[in-house]
Amino acid sequence: MYIYQDLLARAQAGTPVRVGLIGAGKFGSMFLSQVPTTPGLEVAWIADLSPDRARAACRSVGWPDDLIARTTVEDDARRLIASGAADVVVEATGVPSVGLVHAREAIRNGVHIVMVNVEADVLAGPLLAEEARQAGVVYSMAYGDQPALTCEMVEWARSTGFDVVAAGKGTKFLPAYHASTPDTVWDHYGLTGEQAAAAGMNSQMFNSFLDGTKSALEMAAIANATGLTPPPDGLMFPPAGMDDLAHVLRPKSEGGQLAAKGQVEVVSSLERDGRPVFKDLRWGVYVVIEAPNDYAAACFRQYGMNTDATGRYSAMYKPFHLIGLELNVSILSAAILKRPTGSTQGFRGDVVATAKRDLKAGDMLDGEGGFTVWGKLYPAETSLKIGGLPIGLAHNVKLKADIKTGQPIRWVDVEADESSEAIRIRRDMERRFGRKGMAA
């Protein structure tokens, strides 16, 4: 990808790539910090529920007052999308039901859409991506976030003739974290509540990173974009360092821990007894590849690749990701190259709300990162077969049945408002991609 010269030309011609940002939280703020030093790119508008908070975010990342004054900041995202002032919209709210509406509004108005909102993408990405293709606009994952970076590595591997054995990311995880709540999350991070509050850290959001939900969502997004397969019974989070990826992430039949080749998985930076993994990949992404022939396997050895004992499996990895600091790559790819940095192709993986504790009929579910449920990754076929309730729709809904700890919650177990736009979009996606997407 060579786009910097195009940026310079746009800057000289006075025709910058115009961006609309929805949600000026952490991810959005990281993107905003790069804008003043990127020639040929400007933020046309920012939509946030609190415009004053959004302006404060701009100041905190170093925007001069005159740039803030020139930028439209208000709370009506749909009006701003329809205004035609942006070439690319970035959806960074993290709220799945809202993200679906914003994505459709962008597509309807012929505007490229970059979905930081992986929750919305997993909820109905196949449908949104198809609508975007039909409208001639780009529907893209967000570069800098781990799903897009993983998809890039999968694309590299396949384009160079390697079979992909496994792909995914690293994180900090222990099985007990599935039960973590916003009240216990800071203990696991080694912070006090006061320290977290001073840093502006949201306990429910950070708990979704810890309890396995965010990992499940990101692996579902990767599966849906690449055709790789989710594990048959949820992520295993095996401990593995950078040197051990090719050994651990190979099929069980060959001494590894995968159910089969071609799978997504997340590796933990902690051993099961809590000790740190040597050379962990907590902040990174990886792809495990298999040599297609003896000659390629010999090249692995000759060029210092880390391999398993057979020498046929090896891994490439990126130890860090810079989140919103890298988002420009997606924006510019969409606006200049008219191509996404990863995009949903089918319905392969889904994330189902799963009870953190024994729940009773009448209890209200509080969604991703909350006190009641965590999100478990399933093959889409399994999710549809059990009628699983997507984690993205498990917020502020009442249970109609008792649910035991660790059990999936189903549509029939909740009082769902079938008239809501988000549920209608999800139901439409299930009908249209339930079989077609799984065969992709």
In a domain, 439, yes or no: no
In a domain, 186, yes or no: no
User: Are residues 160 and 263 located together in one domain of the fold?
Assistant: yes
Average pLDDT over residues 378-393: 97
- At residue 435, the pLDDT reads 67
In a domain, 290, yes or no: yes
Q: Which strands, in side-by-side order, build the sheet including 364-366?
A: 364-366, 395-399, 414-415
- At residue 348, the pLDDT reads 97
Q: For the chain, give the percent of residues with pLDDT over 90.
A: 93
Range in 1-15, 283-297, 338-352 with the lowest mean pLDDT: 1-15
Average pLDDT over residues 67-96: 97
Rounded CA-CA distance 99/344 in Å is 15
User: Are residues 140 and 232 located together in one domain of the fold?
Assistant: no
In a domain, 82, yes or no: yes
User: Are residues 13 and 109 located together in one domain of the fold?
Assistant: yes
Rounded CA-CA distance 20/202 in Å is 24
- The residues near 12 (Cβ < 8 Å, ≥ 6 apart) are none
CATH of the domain at 368: 3.90.1210.10
User: Are residues 151 and 264 located together in one domain of the fold?
Assistant: yes
- pLDDT bucket at 250, cuts 50 / 70 / 90: very high
User: Are residues 227 and 371 located together in one domain of the fold?
Assistant: no
User: Are residues 364 and 257 located together in one domain of the fold?
Assistant: no
- pLDDT bucket at 437, cuts 50 / 70 / 90: very low
Q: Report residue 401: phi and psi, to 5°.
A: -145, 160
- At residue 196, the pLDDT reads 83
User: What average pLDDT is seen over the chain?
Assistant: 95
**Last residue of a domain, which of 337, 365, 395?**
337
- At residue 190, the pLDDT reads 86
User: Are residues 154 and 218 located together in one domain of the fold?
Assistant: yes
In a domain, 81, yes or no: yes
User: Are residues 44 and 138 located together in one domain of the fold?
Assistant: yes
CATH of the domain at 98: 3.40.50.720
- The residues near 273 (Cβ < 8 Å, ≥ 6 apart) are none
- At residue 379, the pLDDT reads 98
Average pLDDT over residues 118-136: 97
The string of pLDDT tens digits covering residues 276-306 is: 999 999 999 999 999 999 999 999 999 999 9
Q: Report residue 58: phi and psi, to 5°.
A: -60, -45
At residue 414, does pLDDT exceed 90? yes
Number of domains in the chain: 3
Distance between alpha carbon 326 and the CA centroid of its chain, in Å?
Answer: 14
- pLDDT bucket at 46, cuts 50 / 70 / 90: very high
User: Are residues 417 and 428 located together in one domain of the fold?
Assistant: yes
User: Are residues 120 and 8 located together in one domain of the fold?
Assistant: yes
**Last residue of a domain, which of 310, 337, 364?**
337
At residue 376, does pLDDT exceed 50? yes
Asked whether the beta carbons of 96 and 392 are under 8 A apart, the reply is: yes
User: Are residues 112 and 216 located together in one domain of the fold?
Assistant: no
Range in 1-5, 267-271, 336-340 with the lowest mean pLDDT: 1-5
Q: For the chain, give the percent of residues with pLDDT over 70.
A: 98
- At residue 320, the pLDDT reads 96
Tell me the Cα Rg of the chain. 22
User: Are residues 151 and 138 located together in one domain of the fold?
Assistant: no
Structural domain boundaries enclosing 129:
4-144+324-337
- At residue 195, the pLDDT reads 86
**Last residue of a domain, which of 309, 337, 365?**
337
In a domain, 193, yes or no: no
In a domain, 194, yes or no: no
Task: Classify residue 108 by burial, with Cβ atoms within 10 Å: 0-12, 13-18, 19+.
Answer: middle
In a domain, 206, yes or no: no
- At residue 37, the pLDDT reads 96
- At residue 198, the pLDDT reads 76
